[in-house]
Amino acid sequence: MKIHEYQARQLFRKYEIPVPEDVLCYTVSEVEKAARDLNRMVVVKAQVLVGGRGKAGGVKLARNVDEAVSAAKQILGMDIKGFKVEKVLVADAVDITKEYYVGLINDRNTKTVTLMVSSEGGVEIEEVAKTNPEKIIKFHINPLTGLLDYQARDIALQLFSDIKVAQKAASIFKKLYKLYVETDATIAEINPLVLTPDNEVLAIDGKMNFDDNALFRQPEILAMREPDEDELVEIDAHNKGLSYIRLDGNIGCMVNGAGLAMATMDMIKLYGGEPANFLDIGGSSSPQKVIDAMNILLNDKHVKAVMINIFGGITRCDDVAKGLIKAMEVISTDIPIVVRLSGTNAAEGLELLKQTNLPTVSSMSEAAQKAIELSRL
Amino acid sequence: MSILVNKNTKLVIQGITGRDGKFHTGKMKEYGTNIVAGVSPGKEGLILDGVPVFNSVAAAVKATGANTSIIFVPAPFAADAILEASEAGIELVVAISEGLPIQDMIRITPILKMNGTLLIGPNCPGLITPDEALVGILPANIFKKGNIGFISRSGTLTYEVVNLLTLNDFGQTTCVGIGGDPVAGLYFIDLLQRFEDDPETIAVVVIGEIGGDAEEQAAQFIADKMTKPVVAFIAGQTAPPGKRMGHAGAIISSGSGTAAEKIAAFNKAGVPVAKEPNEIPELLRQKLKK
């Protein structure tokens, strides 16, 4: 789960990570008031859940109230990579001596939370990793001890020569780790962390993502969720026990199991079609789930044909067939549907499907080819 | 021969009284797995499907000598269950439970290491050594005893491919579903090493997917250390970046973890990668002819 920068800044403040003052605004007049109240140079920043705001013109420096108003007029309502800007953050623009990067991630290989810092701040860390990998310092944190004082200090001393400044940075590293672990984050970035002319160390931009599997124990984080339209459909599917992601193609697919669902999309592409979605109906196969899944697929106006690919293991093919029959009774559609049932109780399932007009095939490659053919009629 | 589970496996089932636990206990027993105990706090003394139930793993181990455990308890309690098994001296823990928070996995990893416990999963279908032991939720009827080792991050895709192998007369030594989570127990390299050391395994099939770089590491390991042929398939070539494809670990982040990178790594290591699952038996045949 992603949150906005302004929400990350709220969490930083809660954990006593120093952040410049800011005001969240939804309208130009709110921006005008905020700029007047802050009464100094400000940055007007688009709040969207996508990276690359700066390059897209979504972040502007304003020296006075008039400039803030004109920045707000440009940014509010603009489109950044398909995301409409509905709110901006008006933040105190601090003087900067130098920018740094601080980030925490879960490292799959060492199975630890890993701290990454760099003297190359303000740019995307992926860029630094490509061009100057030696400029990134990585530290794998022992989960049993957490990030210890001396470790945080040693890392900070590699960025800052002044011990007093290094201690301020070390304290931020430790607070960020605490925030990260306590909120079940999967990314926590301060980029940039800045050093000011009077030797203060501040977080002036923040990004945080969270582990969906841990949201059950993070009510405060969950309350910050602001899903976009696609995510609303995904969340609704999730609540029905389905895993759904909309794509750009026109062949809808319904599959049991995530790996098989991905392989099904790949196969549609391999035979020259374009998958309209990823949809995993999961392990059990209650008829209701099949009905819900069909509704989601057929609600996508781009879908021209549907491919159902079931390999029964725990899922029983006859259950899926029953669900399909029920679904076809309540849903009326002209969109052609191809069904492939294999594995547990496939014969029974196929027998049941004879009472419908649904074409059935025995392998997934046949199903993909047939669905593509039907989508072109 | 086989790896990890066999006739000597003495299995304890954690969460045996739950809906899934109960159902799969029956299936595993039917297959001939040596199930010695179940655990469900508060239900000690109960006999379920002929299996004695205990309040704790420690009590089950003491009474039955169980050496392997399978976990069906819900995700919020699964990390605790894994540690309980580890502290009770269980050698191999198979966690079926789906949806464990990543921080839970990170916290328990050093403890498992200290205790020398092997973990498979979480969020996995388990493993099977055909005709000897089923420790998981895999549909037993598609497997057949033979000489192919099998490792996969996916569940149903495993069934799809194993079914093709069996139909083409490629039986299996052991098939392991390692699970779809970003932080998990035994992974490709650990298992490739075991298959390399297993005298009956003559070739290995690896089913990977997008996310992380475990496939790239596996490719490097195969190039450096393996004498046996390996054939691969990677799911998720059409997956968009930044989206979690069902499995918590199946996500392309910041442009890395793509199928293309993984396929390139395998090809570089001399491992043929099937364009679709159907091709896997033929690729194996070609590799074994050489």
pLDDT digits (tens, 9 = 90+) for B242-279: 888 888 788 877 667 899 999 999 999 999 999 999 99
Q: Once rounded to an integer, what is the mean pLDDT over residues A202-209? A: 95
User: Looking at the partner chain, which of A106, A311, A363 has a beta carbon nearest the beta carbon of B183?
Assistant: A106
Are A313 and B125 within 8 A, CB to CB?
yes
pLDDT tens-digit profile of A293-321? 999 998 889 999 999 999 987 778 888 89
* Cβ-defined contact of A142 to B110 (cutoff 8 Å): yes
Give the residue from chain A lying closest to B214, CA to CA: A109
Two tokens at A202? Answer: 């501040």
Provide ipTM, 2 decimals. Answer: 0.91
Q: What is the pLDDT of residue B286?
A: 96
Choose the closest CB to A311 out of B125, B160, B238.
B160
Q: For residue A260, which residues of chain B lie inside 8 Å, CB to CB?
A: 154-157, 160, 235
| Set B191, B247, B248, B266: catalytic member | B247
Q: What is the mean pLDDT of residues A54-61?
A: 90
Q: Shortest CB distance from B106 goes to which of A143, A216, A262?
A: A143
Residue in B with minimal Cα distance to A237: B246
Chain B: residue whose CA lies nearest to A248: B240
Over residues B40-91, the pLDDT tens digits come to: 999 999 999 899 999 999 999 999 999 999 999 999 999 999 999 999 999 9
Segment B7-42, tens digit of pLDDT: 999 999 999 999 889 989 999 999 999 999 999 999
Q: What is the mean pLDDT of residues A197-225?
A: 96
B245 vs A245: CB contact, 8 Å cut-off?
yes
| Average pLDDT, rounded, for chain B | 94
Residues of A in contact with B281 (CB under 8 A): none
Q: Report the percent of chain A where pLDDT is more than 90.
A: 69
- Read off the pLDDT of each residue in A14-29 and give the average, rounded to a whole number: 96
Is a pLDDT exceeding 90 seen at residue A17?
A: yes
A176 vs A133, more confident:
A176
* Predicted pLDDT of residue A131: 87
| Chain A residue at shortest CA distance from B103 | A184
Nearest-by-Cβ selection for B238 from A111, A265, A363: A265
What three-state secondary structure class fits A126?
helix
Summarize pLDDT for A225-268 with one digit per residue, the tens.
988 777 888 888 888 889 999 999 999 999 999 999 999 999 99
Higher pLDDT, A347 or A104: A104
- What pLDDT score does A6 carry? 97
- Per-residue pLDDT tens digits for B97-122: 999 999 999 999 999 999 999 999 99
Residue range B130-138: average pLDDT?
95
**Mean per-residue pLDDT for A157-166?**
96
Which residues of chain B have a CB within 8 Å of the CB of A112?
Answer: 106, 109
pLDDT, position A284: 62
Q: What is the pLDDT of residue B169?
A: 96
Catalytic residue numbers of A read 101, 189
Contact A314 B238 (CB under 8 A): no
Is residue A172 within 8 A of residue A180, CB to CB? The reply is no
Render pLDDT for A86-119 as a digit per residue (tens, 0 to 9): 999 999 999 999 999 999 999 999 999 999 999 9
DSSP result, chain B: --SS-STT--EEEETTTSHHHHHHHHHHHHHT--EEEEE-TT-TT-EETTEEEESSHHHHHHHH---EEEE-S-HHHHHHHHHHHHHTT-SEEEE------HHHHHHHHHHHHHHT-EEE-SS--EEEETTTEEEES--GGG--EEEEEEEES-SHHHHHHHHHHHHTT--EEEEEE--S-SS-SS-HHHHHHHHHH-TT--EEEEEEESSSSHHHHHHHHHHHH--S-EEEEEE-TTPPTT---SSTT---BTTBS-HHHHHHHHHHTT--B-SSGGGHHHHHHHHHH-
Q: What pLDDT, on a 0 to 100 scale, did the predictor assign at position B290?
A: 67
- Among the partner-chain residues B139, B154, B276, the one whose CB lies closest to the CB of A258 is B154
Give the 3-state secondary structure of residue A49.
coil
Query: How far is residue A261's CA from residue A267's CA, in Å, rounded to a whole number?
Result: 10
Q: What is the pLDDT of residue A328?
A: 84
Query: In this complex, do A257 and B157 lie within 8 Å of one another by their Cβ atoms?
Result: yes
Q: For B179, name the nearest residue in chain A, comparing CA atoms only.
A: A259
| Residue B247 annotated as catalytic | yes
Contacts of A214 in chain B (CB under 8 A): 101-103
Residue B269: predicted pLDDT: 96
Look at A181 and B100 and tell me if their CB atoms are within 8 Å. Answer: no
